[in-house]
């Protein structure tokens, strides 16, 4: 077992840190306040390759391993989890194509993702959240076309994506065995975006409803076979969850680093508060949990890159633990800063708001615990 990073990983990590500090951090507070996506910056992040890191080079990606991708995402999210969510959503939407797409589909849909196009992963519906198998959107086959009807909600980049990877049922009587993955492209008649969510955190990301009203797409847009959609969606989430863990880790680290700096500078009772054991214990717990989360994330990421037969357990553990750590660390780090932590003048309260989604999206942490338990009891 080797815990050191490779030269390439160190270079990518530094490049991402510099980019995050110079480009993302300066606009993070304003985008959060205005509930606004910095579209030019997001597009630049895509052009820099931050959304296509694990896509093979032949389809326009960088083809790096998942640990490297997680290192990069951690750095970006340390500057702003909202902006990073927009970039990571492109990766999420690309996985169904990578998993089940033909060579032609990969060329057609993945290559534009490295050229600045936006993508959205459309699984969740008003009536299908944790119970992803109960998707009600239907794709009715008519000759060489599917006619899609239904609605999706909480879709990142849903308001402006160029490519949507959509999960719809070709036969609702078959339950989750009717689910099918289909690509829908911007401009398709009947495709529209609905309300944009006004969220508590990650406000610099676009979260929208997406509607399909008699949207016609050729059968050649289908990824894999009819009925394979649920497994494609689950495999996608297994791959993407370590990356959500890495985002949570970035938020936790940002909060911890600020708390550490503040504790060394802030004086009360004639000495820096870092000299009080109550503060030291908080800092020690934060550092320990952040390290533990990173180890779980890198193990899961390693398994993704090794193309292990199944890594649902490790993937769920990494996302769940890191999400919980982000929440605990941001609460404690805010406490170290006291009133200053609670003030909107400092980013601490934003970190805490941003951390909360890490326990919710890409599968709630309750669902992660179900996945973990199912694997233990199998
Ligand atoms: N990889 C491959 N196949 C999987 C899988 C995975 N990770 N998880 C389940 N499957 C397969 C099972 O093997 C089973 O196949 P067979 O019938 O051929 O044996 C099938 O899918 C059904 O599995 P299961 O019975 O476990 O499905 P459930 O309906 O009980 O759902 C959970 C399982 C709850 C884990 C799933 O619905 C889930 O992850 N929900 C959360 C969804 C989510 O994360 N939403 C967030 C929005 S997306 S950003």
- 102: tokens are 């033909």
- Rounded CA separation 378/364 (Å): 21
Backbone angles phi, psi at 252, to 5 degrees: -60, -45
Give exposure, 34-66, as e/b (b: 16+ Cβ within 10 Å).
Answer: eeebbeebbbebbebbbbbbbbeeebbbbebbb
The structure's pTM equals: 0.97
- 140: tokens are 């009715």
Kindly state if the Cβ of 154 falls inside 6 Å of ligand 1: no
- Rounded CA separation 59/365 (Å): 33
Closest C-alpha to ligand 1, atom 4: 231
Q: Return the SS3 of 256.
A: helix
- Closest atom of ligand 1 relative to the 123 alpha carbon: 48
pLDDT in tens, 48-86: 999 999 999 999 999 999 999 999 999 999 999 999 999
pLDDT in tens, 95-105: 999 999 999 99
pLDDT higher than 90, residue 308: no
How would residue 241 be classed by pLDDT, with cut points 50, 70 and 90?
Answer: very high
Region of residue 363 (left: phi > 0; alpha: psi -120 to 50; beta: else): left
Question: Radius of gyration over alpha carbons of the chain, in Å?
Answer: 21
pLDDT higher than 90, residue 364: yes
pLDDT in tens, 313-350: 999 999 999 999 999 999 999 999 999 999 999 999 99
Q: What's the whole-number mean pLDDT along residues 30-37?
A: 98
Kindly state if the Cβ of 268 falls inside 6 Å of ligand 1: no
> What domains sit in the chain, N to C, each tagged with a CATH number?
7-115 (1.10.540.10), 119-226 (2.40.110.10), 230-377 (1.20.140.10)
Terminal-to-terminal C-alpha distance of the chain: 28
Kindly state if the Cβ of 363 falls inside 6 Å of ligand 1: yes
Strand partners, 320: none
362 is catalytic: yes
Contact present, 121 and 93 (Cβ < 8 Å): yes
- Rounded CA separation 225/212 (Å): 21
Helix, strand, coil % in the chain, rounded to nearest 5: 60, 15, 25
- Rounded CA separation 38/44 (Å): 10
Q: What's the whole-number mean pLDDT along residues 276-297?
A: 98
- Size of the chain in residues: 378
Which sign does the torsion angle of CA 55, 308, 74, 334 carry? positive
Which sign does the torsion angle of CA 308, 312, 316, 317 carry? negative
How would residue 307 be classed by pLDDT, with cut points 50, 70 and 90?
Answer: confident
State which of 89, 124, 132, 179 you would mutate to test the pocket of ligand 1, scoring each by most atoms of that ligand within 8 A of its C-beta.
Answer: 132
Kindly state if the Cβ of 132 falls inside 6 Å of ligand 1: yes
State which of 86, 128, 133 you would mutate to test the pocket of ligand 1, scoring each by most atoms of that ligand within 8 A of its C-beta.
Answer: 133
Contact present, 161 and 207 (Cβ < 8 Å): no
Average pLDDT, the chain: 97
Kindly state if the Cβ of 182 falls inside 6 Å of ligand 1: no
Closest C-alpha to ligand 1, atom 41: 130
How would residue 309 be classed by pLDDT, with cut points 50, 70 and 90?
Answer: confident
- Rounded CA separation 168/176 (Å): 10
Q: Which of 209, 332, 362, 366 is catalytic?
A: 362
- 121: tokens are 């992963």
DSSP state, 125?
A: B
Q: Return the SS3 of 166.
A: strand
- Rounded CA separation 52/112 (Å): 10
Q: Which residue has the tokens 């589909």?
A: 105
Distances (CA, A) of 371 to 179, 299, 367: 20, 17, 6
pLDDT at site 240: 98
**Percent of the chain surpassing pLDDT 90:** 98
Question: Cα torsion for 120, 184, 126, 134, to the nearest 10°?
Answer: -110
State which of 122, 137, 164, 231 you would mutate to test the pocket of ligand 1, scoring each by most atoms of that ligand within 8 A of its C-beta.
Answer: 231
pLDDT at site 1: 85
């Amino acid at each position: 077992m080797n815990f050191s990073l490779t030269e390439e990983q160190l270079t990518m990590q530094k490049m991402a840190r510099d980019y995050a500090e110079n480009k993302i951090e300066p606009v993070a507070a304003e985008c959060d306040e205005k509930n606004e996506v910095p579209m030019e910056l997001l597009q630049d992040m895509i052009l820099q390759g931050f959304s296509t890191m694990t896509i093979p080079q032949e389809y326009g990606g960088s083809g790096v391993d998942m640990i490297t991708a997680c290192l990069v995402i951690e750095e970006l999210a340390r500057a702003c989890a909202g902006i990073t969510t927009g970039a990571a959503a492109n990766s999420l939407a690309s996985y169904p194509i990578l998993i089940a797409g033909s060579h032609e589909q990969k060329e057609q849909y993945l290559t534009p993702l490295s050229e600045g196009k936006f993508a959205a992963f459309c699984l969740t519906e008003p009536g299908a959240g944790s119970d992803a198998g109960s998707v009600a959107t239907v794709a009715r086959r008519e000759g060489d076309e599917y006619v899609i009807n239904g609605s999706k909600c909480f879709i990142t980049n849903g308001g402006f994506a160029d490519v949507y990877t959509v999960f719809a049922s070709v036969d609702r009587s078959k339950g989750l065995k009717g689910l099918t993955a289909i690509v829908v492209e911007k401009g398709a008649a009947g495709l529209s975006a609905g309300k944009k969510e006004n969220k508590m955190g990650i406000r610099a990301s676009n979260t929208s409803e997406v509607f399909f009203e008699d949207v016609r797409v050729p059968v050649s847009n289908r990824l894999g076979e009819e009925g394979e959609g649920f497994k494609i969606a689950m495999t996608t989430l297994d791959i993407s969850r370590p990356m959500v863990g890495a985002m949570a880790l970035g938020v936790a680290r940002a909060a911890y680093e600020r708390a550490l700096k503040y504790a060394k500078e802030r004086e009360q009772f004639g000495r820096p508060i870092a000299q009080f054991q109550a503060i030291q214990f908080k800092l020690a717990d934060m550092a320990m949990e952040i390290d533990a989360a990173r180890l779980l994330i890198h193990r899961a990421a390693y398994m993704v890159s090794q193309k292990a037969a199944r890594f649902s357990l490790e993937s769920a553990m990494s996302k769940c633990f890191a999400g919980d750590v982000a929440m605990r660390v941001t609460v404690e780090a805010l406490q170290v800063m006291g009133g200053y932590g609670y003030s909107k003048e400092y980013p601490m309260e934003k970190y805490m708001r941003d951390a909360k989604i890490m326990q919710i999206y890409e599968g709630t942490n309750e669902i992660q615990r179900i996945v973990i338990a199912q694997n233990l009891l199998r």
